[in-house]
């Protein structure tokens, strides 16, 4: 039993379509087709065809029903073959210095169509950086955040922050041009030099000698092994979906994107908005991800970079590892949400500083009100159809199936009462500069994930470069 002082959160469920047992609609279609096709061929070609069609049909059904890492074996094998074909064709390797112009100005892989825009705000504040995807027309805008600590906050404040965050996401459903949103927390070890540089740049030479001496002593006595935390909130906007009509050019599209960004209200959600990210901020975050040694580069050096220079000179997208400019990254994707209710700090172990750099991204797609209503009704109807199928086949309903139906009905009830519906996922990336540290970094993340209240992750098999890009403020959101 929960109390207001120790509120728990849960009720997440995987979206399911009508299917047999735990199979979805597509998998059910494959299984049924695997049964029907041999019968049709038998009627046309005779009994001799069963020697060929029966083993093939059986293999297809087994590969569809059995799962690996939460994915049907058939889907896993198809993904592996597609990645292997891409590797044979050289599509998983990037060598920027050998690309012909204008391709030489592209970032690798999925972020190749992006372009950084510097937008001057009409309010006269500092310029804003927007990332324009020239292939889809989407634009990404980012808010830099300062997360508030919650460990010492009272339970009422923690519950209020969680409620405010839910309300902030629900309000996004009213933005017709919004495609997706994501919040990223980046935690990386620091030698303490960044603190010394920060204080030195801001020390007033005219300050009293005693004050300057006290500040120097504090910096000298600060822990040399510390952690740096960065957080940002990114919106992906499709200006072409505006009811006012498709924008005439990038300038109007940028204006629509800034309008959506300025409408975001995160007050009370547990994080303070520092400012809208500038083009230099985005250059630093992207360059620091591909080349960790450049994260603390001087401001003037970062400002001198062009967009394509933030990417790696060379990169290799392997099946479970992404290698970029001497660094090595491994990414995981959420496989299953917690089945039981969890406290507000369920992600604390993943967000806690470790020995290696880590980036955690929560990706969201807030469904518009009309789409949310149809989705929850479809889920309830699918649950009813599955129950009818079980009664006709005289199969007992499992406890998990009953709970899943209850969650579907509760989601439909809450949506009818005005609640928002959000699709979400979690992506985790760890990066090391020494290949010998890679296995230790993997163990560190996997250990933290096991302690995160029932969250289950799997490797981003064959999609390491894409999962790596999801954590960057470049507008790559798989749910959008």
Q: What is the pLDDT of residues 51-87, one digit of tens each?
A: 888 888 888 888 777 777 667 788 788 888 999 999 9
Q: What is the pLDDT of residues 360-389, one digit of tens each?
A: 999 999 888 888 888 888 777 777 777 777
Rounded-to-integer distance, Cα 466 and Cα 471, Å = 9
pLDDT at 169 over 50: yes
In DSSP notation, 309-361 reads GGS-SEEEE-SS-EEETTEEEEEEEEEE--SS-B-TTTTHHHHS--SSEEEEE
Task: Give the CA count within 13 Å in the CB-facing half-sphere of 202.
Answer: 8
Task: Give the CA count within 13 Å in the CB-facing half-sphere of 317.
Answer: 26
Q: Is residue 127 within 8 Å of 119, Cβ to Cβ? A: yes
pLDDT (average), residues 102-112: 76
pLDDT at 109 over 70: yes
Question: Which sign, positive or negative, has the C-alpha torsion 414, 348, 141, 202?
Answer: positive
- Ranked by mean pLDDT, which of 12-16, 135-139, 372-376, 415-419 comes out on top? 135-139
Q: What is the pLDDT of residues 329-353, one digit of tens each?
A: 999 999 988 888 888 888 888 988 8
In DSSP notation, 205-224 reads TTS-HHHHHHHHHHHHHS-S
Rounded-to-integer distance, Cα 294 and Cα 302, Å = 9
Domain boundaries, the chain: 95-367+420-470
Q: What is the pTM of this model?
A: 0.85
Model confidence at 3, pLDDT cuts 50, 70, 90, reads very low
Q: Check residues 445 and 194 and name the one with the higher pLDDT.
A: 445
Listed residue (378, 421, 452) closest to 166, CA to CA: 421
Q: Check residue 356 and give its pLDDT.
A: 93
- Tokens standing for 269? 């959600």
Q: Check residue 19 and give its pLDDT.
A: 65
Q: Is residue 169 within 8 Å of 149, Cβ to Cβ? A: no
Q: Check residue 1 and give its pLDDT.
A: 42
Q: Check residue 101 and give its pLDDT.
A: 58
pLDDT (average), residues 418-436: 90
Q: Check residues 225 and 87 and name the one with the higher pLDDT.
A: 87
What is the chain's mean pLDDT, rounded? 84
């Amino acid at each position: 039993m929960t109390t207001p002082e120790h509120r728990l959160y849960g009720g997440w469920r995987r979206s399911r379509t009508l299917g047999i047992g735990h199979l979805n609609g597509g998998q059910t279609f494959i299984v049924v087709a695997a049964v029907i096709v041999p019968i049709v061929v038998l009627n046309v070609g005779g009994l001799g065809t069963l020697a060929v069609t029966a083993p093939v049909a059986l293999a297809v059904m087994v590969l569809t029903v059995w799962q690996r890492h939460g994915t049907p074996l058939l889907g896993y094998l198809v993904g592996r073959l597609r990645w292997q074909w891409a590797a044979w064709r050289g599509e998983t390797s990037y060598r920027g210095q050998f690309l012909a112009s204008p391709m030489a100005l592209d970032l690798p892989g999925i972020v190749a169509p992006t372009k950084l825009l510097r937008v001057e705000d009409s309010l006269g504040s500092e310029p804003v950086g927007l990332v324009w995807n020239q292939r889809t027309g989407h634009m990404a805008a980012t808010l830099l955040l300062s997360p508030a600590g919650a460990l010492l906050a009272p339970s009422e404040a923690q519950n209020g922050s969680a409620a405010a965050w839910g309300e902030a996401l629900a309000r996004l459903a009213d933005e017709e041009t919004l495609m997706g949103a994501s919040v990223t927390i980046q935690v990386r070890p620091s030698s303490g030099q960044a603190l010394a540089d920060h204080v030195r740049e801001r020390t007033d030479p005219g300050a009293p000698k005693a004050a300057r001496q006290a500040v120097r002593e504090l910096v000298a006595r600060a822990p040399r092994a510390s952690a740096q935390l960065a957080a940002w909130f990114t919106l992906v906007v499709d200006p072409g979906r505006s009811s006012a009509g498709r924008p005439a050019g990038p300038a109007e599209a940028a204006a629509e994107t800034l309008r959506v960004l300025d409408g975001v209200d995160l007050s009370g959600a547990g994080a303070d908005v520092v400012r809208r990210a500038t083009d230099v901020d985005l250059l630093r975050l992207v360059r620091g991800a591909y080349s960790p040694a450049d994260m603390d580069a001087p401001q003037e050096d970062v400002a001198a970079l062009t967009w394509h220079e933030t990417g790696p000179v060379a990169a290799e997208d392997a099946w479970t590892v992404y290698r970029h400019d001497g660094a090595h990254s491994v990414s995981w994707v959420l496989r299953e949400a917690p089945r039981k209710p969890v406290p507000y700090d369920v992600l604390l172990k993943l967000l806690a500083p470790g020995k290696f750099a880590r980036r955690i991204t929560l990706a969201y797609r807030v469904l518009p009100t009309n789409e949310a209503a149809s989705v929850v009704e479809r889920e309830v109807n699918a649950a009813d159809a599955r129950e009818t199928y079980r009664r006709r086949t005289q199969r007992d309903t499992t406890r998990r199936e009953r709970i899943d139906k209850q969650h579907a009905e509760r989601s439909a009830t809450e949506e009818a009462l005005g609640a928002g519906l959000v699709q979400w996922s979690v992506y985790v990336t760890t990066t090391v500069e020494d290949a010998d540290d890679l296995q230790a970094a993997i163990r560190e993340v996997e250990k933290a994930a096991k302690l995160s209240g029932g969250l289950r992750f799997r490797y981003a098999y064959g999609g390491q470069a894409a999962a790596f890009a999801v954590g960057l403020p470049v507008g790559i959101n798989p749910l959008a």
